[in-house]
Structure 1
């Protein structure tokens, strides 16, 4: 059986990677930055990134993710699929690392279009490059290694295969070891929710690391835990990129507190550390996203991220979930289920066609999933509180104005680990879109529990309506409204915290 939150955490790996990447893109080559400097997903930077656009860190991870999603072993000859994906990306890429560019460019010339020899050509070119530049140990393979955390629960296998993908462009022992340790730690995080880099080190012992190398890497981990991110000023080097990312995680919170804000603090701290900000934040994002899950990542970040090959957060979630499912025997027949479906069929459910104006804001509509088939003409933003298919939101709604919230209609803490955070994020997203002048549809399946809960919280947090009045008046306009007890308790906690503040 899968453990509670497994799919949430699997999705968090890729979305965390991309959010860190896009967040850091504007700050690359600068810093260190002041501890109180706001960190924004604002775009710009040396390569003119769009706000929310991810860089080569996430782009190079995508072909590895797609390979893992096939269920084929992500090693040896099968790596030709990743190499071909990278060559396709390089054709129009804004930024390609020097070592990566040199190795893949040579591999393309050597293979002469033979897709089956790309793997061998890349390995040969990488070895030649390493011989010419024996000290070359950049972070270009560590930045893309996160998808290997979705390979499975055999951490030794994860470590071995992750180090193998590094060999394609970065065969230096430090680069291969960093990928092995970090990827195994991500796999452990996805499986258990724990943040334990030493599990990755333990899994890398033997085939990847000999005893002396294990001691060296343990000392490097301890050094990262002893110093803040800005201490590691040469984070273009794979070792310091690794250390800077781990330092950002351990100095921004404690996993034992189960505080979802730890994710945001980690990525902001990674960026403030300066230097190769997008890469360090991407590396950190893959691990901490795998521990906390996509439900702990700020909705505004998820809303903005996008990049090659034309994906947004929804595609990252879909492919990450499928990658972690495909290796499990009992999940092989999932092609017609979420997230790999154009439409989630709720036709057997009652009351899905509700669509009414919010009693305290006529620019917000509250409804069931059937409202997506008959959108009010003024709606130009949709916040979905339930699972939907790829094509369920009409094309009239721009992609960046579609927000999917990972929220389960359940009173079990195992189903919604950060229910207060998730509900507040959803209510705040309604408010943000309204400030942007948008008319918003807020929906779940039946407008039974999730929609009235978030609708009431929006009225309380942003319109000043007392929580009991908001809950009663929102529920009164929705015929099936009956928020579950855990949601109601969360509403009261959030409202009381705001009153106390």
Structure 2
């Protein structure tokens, strides 16, 4: 069972993610297809579906999202892959092992693990799964423990890549240049998020708006700003996200015209309650989930 403080923090994750995405995309609080990818999974996890099940990934059509050849398209795809880890983390807060496994598979864009031949293919983003694990387990620590830790998931990675990830994320957090190519496109976006957060992230909840707004205006990739927003909101809870953002956010042009910021709050809370049987008459349950 989550404490009231943990429930509050879980409720803020998707809201912070969408706010960072929308502000960085410059679309007047319209979240992009990156947030839409996370919302698609959240709609399933909020309804009690287990993201570690293959059937869930099949419902999402994950196998239909191949590696993109064009660099700009590859970055957009990578952003979707990273951000859809957020609802996975919320749904599996009580099981870090299952969280890591599900995050890796959902981020793969295929719904299955990489084969040996795919791992050896230079066009494959081989660091994507590791980045998803790190992001998901960092979100878990933010929600459950109320702290930011870029390396919270390090022990869940293969031994041979831990030192590289530790060095890359530490450097990013300290504002030092990193070679994002070493960890792939998804990994580069995650490093960008921790570069936004810096050593301290935000010293208190009142500074979250400034950190995200400044990052959005800096030209940082929207997926990195969105990931930073999710981590900050997960650390500080709903009070850290301006009420105006909650009212203005929407997904009208990306397949969810019926969803606004407050619905993301409900999705986050319901996803974190995914192990609890749902009552169809629960007033917290949205009609869109029926």
Q: Partner of 2:160 in structure 1?
A: 212
Aligned pair count? 263
How much does 1:246 deviate? 0.9
How much does 1:130 deviate? 7.9
With over 3 angstroms needed to count, the CA separation of the structure-2 counterparts of 1:293 and 1:218, relative to structure 1, is same
Q: Partner of 2:127 in structure 1?
A: 174
How much does 1:285 deviate? 1.1
Please point out which of 32, 45, 51 is paired with 1:68: 45
Please point out which of 250, 257, 260 is paired with 1:312: 260
* CA displacement, residues 193-218 of structure 1 (integer Å, 9 cap, x when unaligned): 2211221223xx2xxx3212111110
TM-score (norm 1): 0.48
Higher relative contact order (CA 8 A, sep 6+): 2
Please point out which of 63, 82, 90 is paired with 2:60: 82
TM-score (norm 2): 0.80
Q: Distance in 1 between matches of 2:101 and 2:233?
A: 22
Gaps of 5+ in 1: 27-48, 84-118, 343-501
Q: Partner of 2:239 in structure 1?
A: 295
Q: Partner of 1:22 in structure 2?
A: 22
Asked whether the equivalents of residues 52 and 305 of structure 1 are also in contact (C-alpha less than 8 Å), the reply is yes
* CA displacement, residues 126-149 of structure 1 (integer Å, 9 cap, x when unaligned): 3xx48999xx67444113321122
With over 3 angstroms needed to count, the CA separation of the structure-2 counterparts of 1:186 and 1:253, relative to structure 1, is closer
What are the residue-to-residue correspondences of 1:214-363 with 2, within 5 Å?
214-227=162-175, 237-251=185-199, 253-254=201-202, 257=203, 259-276=204-221, 278-307=222-251, 308=254, 309-310=256-257, 311-328=259-276, 332-340=277-285
Asked whether the equivalents of residues 190 and 227 of structure 2 are also in contact (C-alpha less than 8 Å), the reply is yes
With over 3 angstroms needed to count, the CA separation of the structure-2 counterparts of 1:140 and 1:316, relative to structure 1, is closer
Asked whether the equivalents of residues 174 and 198 of structure 2 are also in contact (C-alpha less than 8 Å), the reply is no
Q: Distance in 2 between matches of 1:150 and 1:319?
A: 10
Q: Partner of 1:157 in structure 2?
A: 98
With over 3 angstroms needed to count, the CA separation of the structure-2 counterparts of 1:318 and 1:210, relative to structure 1, is same
Q: Which has the higher helix share?
A: 2
Q: Distance in 2 between matches of 1:164 and 1:63?
A: 16
Q: Distance in 1 between matches of 2:70 and 2:146?
A: 42
What secondary structure sits across from 1:173 in the alignment?
A: coil
Aligned-pair Cα RMSD in Å: 2.9
Asked whether the equivalents of residues 18 and 282 of structure 1 are also in contact (C-alpha less than 8 Å), the reply is yes
* CA displacement, residues 263-314 of structure 1 (integer Å, 9 cap, x when unaligned): 21331242244242x2211111111111111221011111111013021012
Gaps of 5+ in 2: 112-123
Q: Distance in 2 between matches of 1:193 and 1:253?
A: 12
Q: Distance in 1 between matches of 2:95 and 2:149?
A: 15
**Aligned pair 1:8/2:8, yes or no?**
yes
Asked whether the equivalents of residues 130 and 172 of structure 1 are also in contact (C-alpha less than 8 Å), the reply is no
What are the residue-to-residue correspondences of 1:466-477 with 2, within 5 Å?
none
How much does 1:232 deviate? 6.7
What secondary structure sits across from 1:186 in the alignment?
A: helix
With over 3 angstroms needed to count, the CA separation of the structure-2 counterparts of 1:10 and 1:335, relative to structure 1, is farther
Q: Partner of 1:185 in structure 2?
A: 138
Asked whether the equivalents of residues 13 and 146 of structure 1 are also in contact (C-alpha less than 8 Å), the reply is yes
**Aligned pair 1:142/2:82, yes or no?**
yes
What secondary structure sits across from 1:197 in the alignment?
A: coil
Q: Distance in 2 between matches of 1:269 and 1:251?
A: 16
Q: Distance in 1 between matches of 2:104 and 2:110?
A: 11
Asked whether the equivalents of residues 69 and 323 of structure 1 are also in contact (C-alpha less than 8 Å), the reply is yes
Q: Distance in 2 between matches of 1:132 and 1:298?
A: 36
Q: Distance in 2 between matches of 1:139 and 1:315?
A: 22
Q: Distance in 2 between matches of 1:261 and 1:335?
A: 37
Asked whether the equivalents of residues 253 and 262 of structure 1 are also in contact (C-alpha less than 8 Å), the reply is no
How much does 1:164 deviate? 0.3
Asked whether the equivalents of residues 224 and 247 of structure 1 are also in contact (C-alpha less than 8 Å), the reply is yes
* CA displacement, residues 444-496 of structure 1 (integer Å, 9 cap, x when unaligned): xxxxxxxxxxxxxxxxxxxxxxxxxxxxxxxxxxxxxxxxxxxxxxxxxxxxx
Greater C-alpha Rg: 1
Please point out which of 20, 30, 33 is paired with 1:53: 30
